[in-house]
Amino acid sequence: MAEKSQKFSGVLSPVLTPFSKDLKPESRRLVEHCRWLLSQNVALVLFGTTSEANSLSLEEKISLLDDLIDAGINPSLLMPGTGCCSITETVQLTSHAVKLGCKGALILPPFYYKDISDDGLFRSYAETIERVGNSALNIYLYHIPPVSGVSISLDLIERLIIRYPNVIAGIKDSSGNWKNTQSILERRWDDFQVFAGSERFLLQTMRAGGVGCISATANINPNAIYNLYKDWKINQADNLQKQLNQVRTILESYPMIPALKSVVSYYSNHPDWTMVRPPFISLEKETQKELIQKLKSLGFAMPNLD
Amino acid sequence: MAEKSQKFSGVLSPVLTPFSKDLKPESRRLVEHCRWLLSQNVALVLFGTTSEANSLSLEEKISLLDDLIDAGINPSLLMPGTGCCSITETVQLTSHAVKLGCKGALILPPFYYKDISDDGLFRSYAETIERVGNSALNIYLYHIPPVSGVSISLDLIERLIIRYPNVIAGIKDSSGNWKNTQSILERRWDDFQVFAGSERFLLQTMRAGGVGCISATANINPNAIYNLYKDWKINQADNLQKQLNQVRTILESYPMIPALKSVVSYYSNHPDWTMVRPPFISLEKETQKELIQKLKSLGFAMPNLD
């Protein structure tokens, strides 16, 4: 198991996906954004919710992942989201990611059908693991019921850990419910890594034995989030958390993905960064200005982006 | 617009997708089931919710659709479900279906992201229509919020009809909420065809100006549902509706898709028909027996299936 001793910890950004005016993914700009994020001390969740991953086809995802590796992005810093609706696509994308050397895969449960039993979800993850059939696979479970509509229960996590102890590596808890994260952490499963799904819970998560966060806003505020991760034991940690929350609160008062893209567009001076695929809509110019103004009033900036 | 005057009406079955033991779709058995359904007076929604459509990859869907056409199934009796999470896949599958001559396409809104505005959903359908760019396209909107988690509002329908009067052909209302179907029917949009999402609402729908139903249980009880459609004006119609409801109530007390597949498996004498993809689980043998027993006690049968 030597190759699996190094797991992820710290801060990861679910990388925004840049589109051209005609809504094609642009890998050159994606690579640039990834490089900038890495320079700001965060690792990369390609194809997270914030990446508009589920507005991309399987083919587009595979192609973008290939482009990133070809551009020299280190796969040991990559945790792509590979959970699709269909088992065939989940297996294909996960296998591809593992073969490219990605250190982990963040896997949603199949999310179309609802009221699914734990038995059914267990079967889904088990079938994925068996079909990928690669001992290098590290799965991070992706619990985001407000969006996916499908919950990953504590019982299910435990069943998966017991059956696949060398594959089930951790979880991203994007329930938005601290009690759920706390309950997971209290189980103290051996070597099971718990990431907060938002930096709002980063300090609490670290204090309770978690390993970091994977957060949408890490696309624009990565280094500040990283600093709290690094310094969570210092006296001023609560103050750092408050500062992060101020930025996050502003973002949360807008549709998150269009808002983040507006901010990147502004600081990178690239108008196409505002492009979002349907069902999203770009922020109006005036709304974008207002958002930037609010962020600047906190002293916010994105350094060295362009 | 001559080629578009014939729209769907009557009863359509969201066709169950047969899998082999290793969960591959089996087009030969699919063709057989489609032929049987057609012989029972129902048309075909390939890739509906009941078809486990969202457990199939795009590639698998295209291949199955091709196999059906190659086998001689008349595309004017086909309304495939072509709404995927990503606009690229929705456009690809819809274009393919229209080119093959399918008379309609049943289109889900993109269903991963939630709390989407009507503007965003309008943009999604509009972009699909523009990109498919084929005047033969007939879209049936697929409203199934209990599963998709994304609602198609009356305002959105009206905006789409006004903007694309020759494309927006109708709706399948699977809200399970009669008041919603009634509200749609009361708008009396010109030539807009309203299908109940369950035969439970068939008689009400017909009496209020609808054109039929698209229902899961039409996979096993097609002709009886068709008879109510055909004879909805007769005195005994309420009685026919009650008989349909009795069958449906039994089915609804089990997980619907595994239950329907169990019934088809029993009457076609083909054990592989019980196979479901994750996240579903096949019914236990004992449960299957119990289900069949309950149906038989109503005098239920599937004639000429094997």
pLDDT in tens, A246-271: 999 999 999 999 999 999 999 999 99
Q: CB–CB of B57 and A124 under 8 A?
A: no
Residue B129's pLDDT is: 98
Q: For residue B278, is the peptide bond before it cis, meaning its omega torsion is within 30 degrees of 0? A: no
Q: CB–CB of B278 and A148 under 8 A?
A: no
**Amino acid, single-letter form, for residue A241:** Q
Q: CB–CB of B278 and A54 under 8 A?
A: no
Closest CA to A89 of A58, A124, A65: A58
pLDDT tens-digit map of A207-248: 999 999 999 999 999 999 999 999 999 999 999 999 999 999
pLDDT band at residue B267 under the 50/70/90 scheme: very high
Is the Cα torsion angle B266, B267, B270, B276 positive or negative in sign?
negative
Please enumerate in sequence order all residues whose Cβ is within 8 A of that of A51, keeping only pairs 6 or more positions apart, or say none: A14, A15, A16, A17, A45, A81
Residue B173's pLDDT is: 98
Residue B87 at interface with chain A, using a CB cutoff of 8 Å: yes
Q: CB–CB of B120 and A281 under 8 A?
A: yes
Residue B304's pLDDT is: 80
pLDDT tens-digit map of A158-179: 999 999 999 999 999 999 999 9
Q: Are B259 and B283 in contact (CB under 8 A)?
A: yes
Fold of B8-222: TIM Barrel (3.20.20)
pLDDT band at residue A181 under the 50/70/90 scheme: very high
* Six-digit token string for A130: 């068996």
**Whole-angstrom distance between the N-terminal and C-terminal Cα of chain A?**
41
Residue B2's pLDDT is: 40
Interface of B with A in 136-195 (CB under 8 A): 146-150
Residue located via tokens 């982990």? A104
Q: Are B170 and B193 in contact (CB under 8 A)?
A: yes
Residue A1's pLDDT is: 36
pLDDT band at residue A4 under the 50/70/90 scheme: low
Residue B114's pLDDT is: 97
Q: CB–CB of B279 and A124 under 8 A?
A: yes
In angstroms, the CA B125 to CA B120 distance is 9
pLDDT tens-digit map of B133-156: 999 999 999 999 999 999 999 999
CA contacts within 13 A on the Cβ side of B37:
29
Q: CB–CB of A121 and B148 under 8 A?
A: no
Q: CB–CB of A23 and B123 under 8 A?
A: no
> What are the beta bridge partners of residue A43?
A12
pLDDT tens-digit map of B49-103: 999 999 999 999 999 999 999 999 999 999 999 999 999 999 999 999 999 999 9
pLDDT at A2 over 50: no
In angstroms, the CA B244 to CA A208 distance is 55
Helix-strand-coil split of chain B, %, nearest 5: 50, 10, 40
In angstroms, the CA A143 to CA A215 distance is 13
User: Strand A43-45 relative to strand A105-107: parallel, antiparallel, unpaired?
Assistant: unpaired
CA of A52, closest CA in chain B: separation in Å?
9
Residue A82's pLDDT is: 98
pLDDT band at residue B297 under the 50/70/90 scheme: very high
The CATH class of A2-234 is alpha beta
pLDDT tens-digit map of A16-36: 999 999 999 999 999 999 999
Of B88, B116, B119, the CB nearest to A57: B88
In a mutational test of the A interface, the residue from B142, B277, B282 whose CB has the highest number of chain A CBs within 10 Å is: B277
Q: For residue B279, is the peptide bond before it cis, meaning its omega torsion is within 30 degrees of 0? A: yes
Exposed, middle or buried, B296 (CB in 10 Å: 0-12/13-18/19+)? exposed
Residues of A with CB below 8 A from B59's CB? Answer: 88
User: Strand B193-196 relative to strand B168-173: parallel, antiparallel, unpaired?
Assistant: parallel
Q: How many CB atoms lie within 10 A of CB A179?
A: 8
Residue B7's pLDDT is: 84
What percentage of residues in chain A have a pLDDT greater than 70? 98
Residue B1's pLDDT is: 36
Residue B4's pLDDT is: 52
**Whole-angstrom distance between the N-terminal and C-terminal Cα of chain B?**
41
Of B58, B123, B147, the CB nearest to A113: B147
Q: How many CB atoms lie within 10 A of CB B47?
A: 30
pLDDT tens-digit map of B210-237: 999 999 999 999 999 999 999 999 999 9
Our CA dihedral for B137, B138, B141, B147, rounded to 10 degrees, sits at -70
Residue B95 at interface with chain A, using a CB cutoff of 8 Å: no
Average pLDDT over residues B22-38: 98
Q: Are B292 and B260 in contact (CB under 8 A)?
A: no
Instruction: Parse chain B into domains and list their residue ranges.
Output: 8-222
**Amino acid, single-letter form, for residue B29:** R
Interface of A with B in 54-83 (CB under 8 A): 54-60
Q: For residue B46, what is the DSSP state?
A: T
pLDDT tens-digit map of A193-208: 999 999 999 999 999 9
Residue A21 at interface with chain B, using a CB cutoff of 8 Å: no
Of A54, A57, A114, the CB nearest to B147: A114
